[in-house]
């Protein structure tokens, strides 16, 4: 799998020699896996890995434990770790945004600031199931063709910050199996079970129903988004 991942990164020119790559590490399986595989690939592809953990201030002690877990993990693998706290509830009050969107906005503000200061790229751990959720979410709220194309393996935002998603071809099950093989644990966000969050509802209720129709539903949704991106 590492060889396939390296080929994918080379295909999209995700990194160049001497690049600095900040990995967004929440402590969940996806981001822990991304950190580990990039640490392996940096030996051959000659880039620098550092971690960013954003503590959102919305889950009390559990959130602080996530931050401590990420810091301990990074110390174990000798990776510099930047832990930054934000106040999502206060931002929700100021802007009227929901918790999900407010957390995302603040998180990306941190990514953008650090990437700009350090001339670095941001690596995010989205995978096939994440992309399928995003595409379905865009569909039900009424999206342009751009939204239906889903996430891209590599993109630059309007400020020139480069985001890479090396795991976009991987399934969640593959990610967890990789961590089990490595003997590395991860954290589970308790809010993932709260179905009042749109993406949680899609993940827990909608996608399993679609997989009852076709067990390859997630893969086919990703393939369709890829076809749309080609003709866009």
pLDDT at position 196 is 66
What's the predicted TM-score (pTM) here? 0.92
- Residues in the chain with pLDDT values less than 70: 192-196, 232
- Condensed to tens digits (0 to 9), the pLDDT of residues 148-191 reads 888 999 999 988 999 999 999 999 999 999 999 999 999 987 77
pLDDT at position 232 is 64
DSSP string, 26-60: -SSHHHHHHHHHHHHHHHHH--EEEEEEEE-SSSH
3-state SS class at 100 = helix
pLDDT at position 229 is 84
Nearest Cα neighbor of 83 from 35, 24, 33, 139 is: 24
pLDDT at position 193 is 66
Integer Cα distance of 216 and 114 in angstroms: 38
Give the CA dihedral 123, 98, 133, 54, nearest 10 degrees.
20
pLDDT at position 91 is 94
Terminal CA-to-CA distance of the chain, rounded, Å? 30
Integer Cα distance of 173 and 38 in angstroms: 19
């Amino acid at each position: 799998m590492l060889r396939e991942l390296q080929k994918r990164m080379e295909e999209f020119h995700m990194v160049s020699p001497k690049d600095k790559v900040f990995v967004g590490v929440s402590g969940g399986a996806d981001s822990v896996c991304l950190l580990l595989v990039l640490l392996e690939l940096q030996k051959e592809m000659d880039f620098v890995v550092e971690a960013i953990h954003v503590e959102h201030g919305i889950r009390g002690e559990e959130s602080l434990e996530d931050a401590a877990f990420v810091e301990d993990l990074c110390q174990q693998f000798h990776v510099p770790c930047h832990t930054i706290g934000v106040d999502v509830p206060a931002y929700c009050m100021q802007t009227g945004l929901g918790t999900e969107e407010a957390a995302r906005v603040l998180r990306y503000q941190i990514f953008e600031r650090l990437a700009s200061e350090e001339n670095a790229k941001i690596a995010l751990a989205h995978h096939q199931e994440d992309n399928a959720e995003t595409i379905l979410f865009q569909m039900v709220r009424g999206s342009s063709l751009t939204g239906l194309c889903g996430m891209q393996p590599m993109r630059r935002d309007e400020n020139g910050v480069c985001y890479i998603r090396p795991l976009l071809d991987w399934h969640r099950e593959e990610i967890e199996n990789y961590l089990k093989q490595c003997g590395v644990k991860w954290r589970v966000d308790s809010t993932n079970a709260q179905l009042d969050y749109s993406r949680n509802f899609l993940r827990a209720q909608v996608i399993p129903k679609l997989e009852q129709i076709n067990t390859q539903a997630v893969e086919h949704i990703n393939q369709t988004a890829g076809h749309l991106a080609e003709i866009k």
